[in-house]
Amino acid sequence: MLKRKTPIGWFVGFAISFALFQLMLLAITNLLFKGIGLWGVNIPVGWGLDILNFVWWIGIGHAGTLISAILLLLRQKWRTSINRFAEAMTLFAVAQAGVFPLMHLGRPWLGYWLFPYPNTMGIWPQFRSPLMWDVFAVSTYATVSAMFWFVGLIPDFATLRDRANSKPFRMIYGMLAMGWRGSARHWHRYEMAYLLLAGLATPLVLSVHTIVSFDFAVGIIPGWHATIFPPYFVAGAIYAGFAMVLLLTIPLRKVYGLQSFITMRHMHNMAKVMLATGLIVAYGYMIEAFFGWYSGNPYEKFMIWNRMHGPYAPYYWALILCNGLTPQLLWFKKIRANLLVLWLIALVVSIGMWLERFVIVVTSLHRDFLPSSWGFYRPTQWDWAMFIGTIGFFLALLFLFIRFLPMISIFEMRTILPEAEVEEG
Amino acid sequence: MIKTKPPRLYGVMAQFDSPSTLVAAARETYEAGYRRINGYSPFPIEELSEAIGFKRTSLPLIVLIGGILGGLGGFFMQYWMEVIDYPLNVGGKPFNSWPAFIPITFECTILAAALAAVLGMLALNKLPQPYHPVFNAPNFALATRDSFFLVIESKDPKFQHDEVMRFLKSLEARDVCDVEV
């Protein structure tokens, strides 16, 4: 696995995604020169593609933490062959997510003002704002995900160090392994630390998307101001994340011949998680419509009517089709077993989750209480360039990861081999 | 003539082919009264740390303390900034709007506890540690692949070189060798 020749597809894929990454850099450069007037955002829709892409990316990240932390606590051993990859996906998705709010600041070079540091202005951030909560939640999430990933890699770095053919690689991996030598005392503390990290990451991942949903739910805009938001957002995040894991692992296991590591059981389990979270999300859509009707509030009623019949109605119905109806196919075993269809469903769900955030962000903002302040939002080419660029950056990072680091945890795979069992003599 | 001191001995190392033989050997070694012993394996073996008499780690306590300090620090950071140092009336809310401070308090708790877990684990393990005598042993590179090792350190009060050599050879070891400092 480690010493195999790089398939030609790797170079093609990396070249394409790296080119898209350049598009992102171009979009950011242009933005820094000209300001966010380049984007379609304006009053009343001040949060356009930028915030929805942020929510979309961070949601994708959550599946990685779920797989590595929650499934570890639940002793689901099948997670072992996909957790490393899923954690890398988390980290890279969070990196993309961070780009959007930072660029949306308008003056991104002052982004550090968000952190409470002693400053000559003599002021402090305003901690009653959900946007401050977001800063802490996302930066904590990024830090903990990075630590979790790195700690998981330490023993594998040691393996790579001891197997490296050339001195530079031995030195690089050696430094990363920090002198790991597989001592029994070290393993004991290591396992404890890993378990505790999993236990800490589990409530963390739930809190992060809860806080992201507070960005909306704490506001009073109809369509945002709903108590259903935290659980509905968390389920949506896991839903989108598993769709992304499937989207990536299905071609990967084919190209790298990993069928004996990432088995059909994994595919079935991931499809089932998608189905379950998809049902929660569908329940969320139903409850939103129900609230609109049952609240008796004209603004809430208008909001849901506007979603279904307003100028963005096609987005709403496409969302229901993608997220509500399509995953129902996963009830059938035959469909879960057909990888091409499963891949297409994962793609449809990814698009659906993007549409969901579009509907939440844009349709709620564009028509609020006063018809005189209504407006319309259309993303510009630079909005799209940023979004497509982050997809390229994400894929480029994943390609580098596959090439230089073990994408399946070596030592954890060893523990589940029958030879690893200690026979009591 | 250059005077060289004879190399000091770190311990004696035995190599095993399977986790079962290593654990069995580690138990016998512990029962024979050796205490400064350690096992090395490519993956965690729960029975091994018990066999060498290593059962408790203070890591959970460190993480608990980290979490408590993070939580208190997170809350009182906000309290001090919003109530004492820079009180600002925001929408008529009280200066100490504690429910609004909870999300950040929670995040700080998790962050500090996670940092305590990772840094605590590394510190207790004395990592990073670029040099360690066991790396001198000829086959030790296999310890991260498919071989299992047991070391009796020379600091052990019962350590007597020939006796230890004989003892380790009597176990099902594939190879026994000296480890120099």
Given a contact cutoff of 8 angstroms between Cβ atoms, the answer to whether A252 and A244 are in contact is no
Q: What is the arrangement of strands in the sheet containing B9-16, beginning at the earlier edge strand?
A: B37-40, B148-153, B9-16, B175-180
- Residue A42 domain flag: yes
Tens of pLDDT, residue by residue over B93-129, are 999 999 999 999 999 999 999 999 999 999 999 989 9
Given a contact cutoff of 8 angstroms between Cβ atoms, the answer to whether A153 and A405 are in contact is yes
Contact: A187, B45; criterion CB under 8 Å: yes
- Residue B50 domain flag: no
CATH number of the domain enclosing A33: 1.20.1630.10
CB-CB neighbours of B78 under 10 Å: 25
Q: Does A233 touch chain B (CB under 8 A)?
A: no
| Alpha helices per DSSP H over A35-129 | 49-65, 71-73, 83-104
Q: Which residues of A touch B43 (CB under 8 A)?
A: 155, 187, 411-412, 414-415, 420
Query: For residues A363 and A45, what is the distance between their CA atoms, to the nearest angstrom?
Result: 9
Strands (DSSP E) found in chain B: 9-16, 37-40, 148-153, 175-180
- Residue B178 domain flag: no
pLDDT for the residue numbered B68: 98
Closest chain A C-alpha to B109 CA, distance in angstroms: 9
Query: For residues A231 and A320, what is the distance between their CA atoms, to the nearest angstrom?
Result: 18
Query: For residues B166 and B148, what is the distance between their CA atoms, to the nearest angstrom?
Result: 19
pLDDT for the residue numbered A404: 87
Q: Which residue of B has its CA nearest to A422?
A: B20
Here the tokens at position A125 are 């951030």
Query: Which of A225, A229, A199 minimizes the C-alpha distance to A55?
Result: A229
- pLDDT per 10-residue tile (average), chain A, 425 residues: 72 95 96 92 91 94 86 84 89 94 92 93 92 94 94 93 90 93 93 94 94 93 91 93 93 87 90 95 94 91 94 96 95 94 96 95 92 93 96 95 88 82 70
- Residue B107 domain flag: yes
Strand partners, B152: B12, B37
- Residue B70 domain flag: yes
- Residue A2 domain flag: no
What ipTM goes with this model? Answer: 0.92
Contact: B130, A193; criterion CB under 8 Å: no
pLDDT of B5 higher than 70: no
Q: Does A35 touch chain B (CB under 8 A)?
A: no
Residues 69-128 (B) with a CB less than 8 A from some CB of A: 77-78, 81-82, 85-86, 88, 90-91, 93, 97, 100-101, 103-104, 106-108, 110-111, 113-115, 117-118, 120-122, 124-125, 127-128
Most confident stretch, B11-25, B57-71, B150-164: B57-71
Domain enclosing residue B75, as ranges: 59-124
- Residue B116 domain flag: yes
pLDDT for the residue numbered A1: 46
pLDDT for the residue numbered B2: 60
Q: How many domains does chain B have?
A: 1
- Residue B95 domain flag: yes
In sequence order, what are the residues at sequence separation of 6 or more whose Cβ sits closer than 8 angstroms to the Cβ of residue A251?
A: A343
pLDDT of B159 higher than 80: yes
Is the alpha carbon torsion for A245, A246, A249, A252 positive or negative?
negative
Q: How many domains does chain A have?
A: 1
Closest chain A C-alpha to B91 CA, distance in angstroms: 10
- Residue A118 domain flag: no
Query: For residues A21 and A56, what is the distance between their CA atoms, to the nearest angstrom?
Result: 18
Contact: A181, B132; criterion CB under 8 Å: yes
SS (H, E, C) B8-46: CEEEEEEEECCHHHHHHHHHHHHHCCCCCEEEECCCCCH
Distance spanning both ends of chain B, measured CA to CA: 23
- Residue A119 domain flag: no
- Residue A197 domain flag: yes
Q: Is A123 helix (H, G, I), strand (E, B) or coil?
A: coil
Given a contact cutoff of 8 angstroms between Cβ atoms, the answer to whether A61 and A86 are in contact is no
Q: Is A283 helix (H, G, I), strand (E, B) or coil?
A: helix
Query: Which of A326, A356, A354, A324 minimizes the C-alpha distance to A341?
Result: A326
DSSP state, residue A183: B
Confidence of residue B6 (pLDDT cuts 50, 70, 90): low
- Residue B112 domain flag: yes
pLDDT for the residue numbered A3: 57
Query: For residues B167 and B28, what is the distance between their CA atoms, to the nearest angstrom?
Result: 10
Chain A contact probe: residue of B30, B107, B124 with most A CBs at under 10 A:
B107
Chain B contact probe: residue of A161, A183, A423 with most B CBs at under 10 A:
A183
- Residue A121 domain flag: no
Query: Which of A6, A18, A5 minimizes the C-alpha distance to A395?
Result: A18
CA A302 to chain centre: 32
Q: Is B63 helix (H, G, I), strand (E, B) or coil?
A: helix
pLDDT for the residue numbered B3: 59
Residues 125-164 (B) with a CB less than 8 A from some CB of A: 125, 127-132, 134-135, 140-145
- Residue A152 domain flag: yes
- Residue B179 domain flag: no
Residues 96-125 (A) with a CB less than 8 A from some CB of B: 116, 122-125
Q: Which residues of A touch B41 (CB under 8 A)?
A: 182, 184, 187
Domain enclosing residue A270, as ranges: 8-113+126-412
Contact: B125, A143; criterion CB under 8 Å: no
